[in-house]
Amino acid sequence: MKKFLFVFSLIAFFCLGVQIYSNQTSVYDECLIAGRGCCSRHGGVCGCSGGRSKCCDGTLSPTCQCFMDENKGMQL
């Protein structure tokens, strides 16, 4: 019984730590989700412009799109 409580408390502590960490990292709230190969030769995806993924070198991806999150109004 003591082992069970110990393991249970470790799992609960880990889950709480993950939740606290994820609440403090608001950087992930603004992350862009891009498909494989989007802007891969242009420094990666750094933004969204006109429904197209904006590459880090300033070019727009001819094939990759970005979308608005209807719940938060943020670009994904």
| Burial of residue 52 (number of CB atoms within 10 Å: 0-12, 13-18, 19+) | middle
Checking if the pLDDT of 70 tops 50, the result is no
Per-residue confidence band for 63, with pLDDT thresholds at 50, 70 and 90:
confident
Checking if the pLDDT of 41 tops 50, the result is yes
